[in-house]
Structure 1
Amino acid sequence: MTFTADPAEGKRVFDLDRAHVFHSWSAQGPLNPFTPAAAEGCYVWDYDGNRYLDFSSQLVNVNIGHQHPKVVKAIQEQAAILSTIAPQHANVKRGEAAKLIADLAPAGMNKVFFTNGGADAAENAIRMARIHTHKHKVLSFYRSYHGNTGSAIAATGDQRRWPNEYSTQHVHFFGPYLYRSVFWSKSAEEESTRALEHLEQVILLEGP
């Protein structure tokens, strides 16, 4: 892509951010956010013209690359027709997307519930599971992140949940992670076996 560096604009964007934007999961004072100016494919440019590989794929959600022509075209076309719609209405694009997902799902799973994001999806999944099973305990990994809303943050397996544990009956356990194993494993197979044994004990001790 053709991109013209503009350091002065980059400084303006940075200053606006630091003056008025409150960032999540960050101590605000020392924060020094990266300031992307443009992106294409797997690359991101800053306002000084430096190019970076986007190894994080933003929030692991740009799997087909930045500014994919088909995605850009679809957004432009839809915005010209109908830019937003309430969830209670039928909509051709939502219906088509749901069918594409249902076609890939196991037999009998024909409905798709669309949410606004990952935390919203986790919240609704927990509610549905509790209603369907009549059980209330939720098990999730330590070293996990599920979102910053009520049940999602309680299910999260790191310290960010500590001041936010208002949702009850969440239980955490260690999943397999050979790089920093808590099971003193020496192989992936051993790590998986010991993690499963640990999970079995947690389930037996926690009860229904």
Structure 2
Amino acid sequence: MAAQPSAYAERTLGKAGSVEVRPLKVSLLKRLKLIAIFFAVGFLSTVAGVLSSVDPSEAQMIVRETENLRDTILNTPGIGVAAIFGNNLMHCLLMFVPVLGLIQGVYVLYSTGRVLAALGMLYGSDPLHLMLVMMVFPHAVMEYVAYSIALSESFWLTYVTARGGLKAARRELNDAAKMIVVSTVILLLAAVVEMVILLQT
């Protein structure tokens, strides 16, 4: 009986009609395209949160929690970077989880929009304008890039596992580890930039 190709490989027809087996591998171009797509998804998720309705009592609670966190960071600048970085990294790592990470990411970015909606309600500002102002700051863009990397890798882990099985998943985990390192570095730099901006305002 002829040996069957591993599920970890894709089968294609060669020039002579023979079956060629090649590893299931995602190209860099596809990865970059999906990161861009998830950046747009994240942005639109935040827009959805901005446009959502927030009742006054909930808005007051959200703003109070946000301002308390900001005051804590400003009053203890020594741990400010660690606090910002730790919070963002926790959310980012959860986004790498296959399937569930996609849900987590959309929810987190939607919740960011609701914070802006609450701020707009209490301070009489247009929340969409607040969002555009937020995206001007480099640390916000860096955070969205890191989250987009995580969400795209969550998709690839799910896709590769479904197509190639556990062997393919183990190989993709090597790429996932690299993406985690990249996202971590981006979030650390973003936390430093955000702290500098907070101290100057």
Question: TM-score range with shorter-chain normalisation?
Answer: under 0.3
Bigger RCO of structures 1 and 2 (CA < 8 A, at least 6 apart) = 2
Structure with more helix by fraction? 2
- Under a length normalisation based on structure 1, what TM-score does the superposition of the two structures give? 0.26
- Under a length normalisation based on structure 2, what TM-score does the superposition of the two structures give? 0.26
Query: Larger C-alpha radius of gyration, 1 or 2?
Result: 1
